[in-house]
C-alpha cells in the first residue's frame, strides 16, 4: 500500500498530484502490471488520510495519463492500465499543438524513418497483413475524379503506412511513424490538405506502393528501402506547397 503519510517534502505540489505520484511509484515498486487492482477509494482515503475528493482528483490525474482505468459496481475499482497508442498519441499531440509543426518537418523524419521501417519488414509480414495491404491499395485503384474522392484516397494511402508501422517490432519506430501518419491524416480530413486530382501523381504513388509490396513479399530489404525512399522523396515534393500551420485542434484520444 502507499505510504501512510508523506512527511510533506514537497509542499509545492498539490495533494492530488502528490498522491498520484505516490501511487505511480508504488505501482512500480510492487511491479504491478496492466489489469492489476489498485486499492479501493475507501482504502486510499484511509491510507493517505485524505478526503474523498482529494483521492478522486488523484485518480483522475492517473486516468488522464492513461495509467489507470476505473470501473463502478461490485468487483469494480481502479486498475493499472496500459496507455494505448491513441492515448499516447493524443497526449503528445497536445505538445505539438503549441509548436508550429509543418508538413516539411514531418517529412524530414518520414524520409529517413519510413525506408528504415520498410527494410526491417521485408520478408517479415504474414499473409493476412499482406492481404490487408493489398486491399488498401485496391481502394484507390482508379484515379480520383472529385476532390472528395481524392481526399479519401489520400487518407487510405496514409492508412497503408499506418498498417506497415503497426507491424514493426520496434515500438518506438512504430509509434513515431504512426504518429506522423495520423497527423497527416487529420490534416487531410480537417484542413482539406490534399492535392488537386492529378492522374500522373496518382499513378506514381500507386506504383510505388505496389512495387514496395512486392519487395516486402519477396523479402528484399534493400529494395524495399530504396523504393520507400523514392516514394517519400516524391511525396515530400508533392506536399511542398502545403505549408499551412498545423494542428488547429487537439487530437482525439
Partner DNA sequence: ATCTATTTGTACGTATGTATT
Partner DNA sequence: AAATACATACGTACAAATAGA
**Positions that interact with DNA (CB under 7 A):** 11, 14-16, 40-42, 49-54, 56-57, 59, 70-78
Decide whether 53 or 219 has the Cβ nearer to DNA.
53
Q: CB 118: neighbour CB atoms within 10 A?
A: 25
The nearest distance, CB 80 to a copy of itself, in angstroms, is 9
137 closest CA partner among 49, 236, 212: 212
Contact 158, 232 (CB under 8 A): no
99 binds, among a copy of itself, DNA, none (CB under 5 to 8 A by kind): a copy of itself
96 binds, among DNA, a copy of itself, none (CB under 5 to 8 A by kind): a copy of itself
The nearest distance, CB 27 to a copy of itself, in angstroms, is 8
Residues in contact with a copy of itself by CB under 8 A are 16-17, 20, 24-25, 28, 34, 53, 56-57, 60-67, 82-85, 87-88, 91-92, 94-96, 98-101, 104-106, 108-109, 112-113, 116, 120, 170-173, 175-176, 180, 248-250
The nearest distance, CB 90 to DNA, in angstroms, is 20
Q: Three cell numbers at 216?
A: 516486402
Ramachandran category for residue 50: left, alpha or beta (phi over 0 → left; psi -120 to 50 → alpha) = beta
Q: CB 59: neighbour CB atoms within 10 A?
A: 21
221 closest CA partner among 141, 122, 132, 149: 122
Decide whether 203 or 248 has the Cβ nearer to a copy of itself.
248
The nearest distance, CB 4 to DNA, in angstroms, is 13
Decide whether 74 or 241 has the Cβ nearer to DNA.
74
183 closest CA partner among 102, 64, 83, 74: 102
22 binds, among a copy of itself, DNA, none (CB under 5 to 8 A by kind): none
Rounded to 5, what percent of the chain is helix, strand, coil? Answer: 65, 5, 35
Amino acid at each position: 500500500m502507499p505510504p501512510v503519510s508523506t512527511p510533506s517534502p514537497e509542499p509545492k505540489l498539490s495533494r492530488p498530484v502528490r498522491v498520484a505520484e505516490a501511487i505511480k511509484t508504488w505501482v512500480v515498486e510492487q511491479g504491478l502490471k496492466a489489469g492489476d487492482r489498485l486499492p479501493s477509494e475507501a482504502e486510499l482515503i484511509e491510507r493517505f488520510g485524505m478526503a474523498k475528493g482529494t483521492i478522486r482528483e488523484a485518480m483522475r490525474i492517473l486516468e488522464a495519463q492513461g495509467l489507470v482505468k476505473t470501473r463502478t459496481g461490485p468487483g469494480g475499482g481502479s486498475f493499472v492500465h496500459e496507455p494505448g497508442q491513441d492515448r499516447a498519441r493524443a497526449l503528445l499531440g497536445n505538445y505539438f499543438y503549441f509548436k508550429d509543426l509543418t508538413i516539411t518537418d514531418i517529412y524530414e523524419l518520414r524520409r529517413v524513418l519510413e525506408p528504415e521501417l520498410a527494410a526491417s519488414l521485408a520478408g517479415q509480414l504474414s499473409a493476412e497483413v499482406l492481404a490487408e495491404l493489398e486491399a488498401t491499395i485496391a481502394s484507390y485503384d482508379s484515379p480520383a475524379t472529385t476532390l472528395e474522392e481524392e481526399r479519401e484516397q489520400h487518407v487510405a494511402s496514409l492508412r497503408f503506412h499506418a498498417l506497415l508501422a503497426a507491424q514493426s517490432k520496434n515500438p518506438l519506430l512504430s509509434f513515431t511513424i504512426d504518429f506522423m501518419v495520423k497527423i497527416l491524416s487529420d490534416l487531410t480530413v480537417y484542413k482539406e490538405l490534399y492535392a488537386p486530382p492529378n492522374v500522373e501523381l496518382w499513378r506514381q504513388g500507386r506504383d510505388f506502393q505496389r512495387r514496395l509490396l512486392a519487395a516486402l513479399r519477396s523479402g528484399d530489404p534493400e529494395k524495399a528501402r530504396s523504393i520507400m525512399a523514392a516514394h517519400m522523396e516524391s511525396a515530400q515534393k508533392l506536399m511542398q506547397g502545403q505549408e499551412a500551420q498545423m494542428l488547429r485542434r487537439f487530437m482525439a484520444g
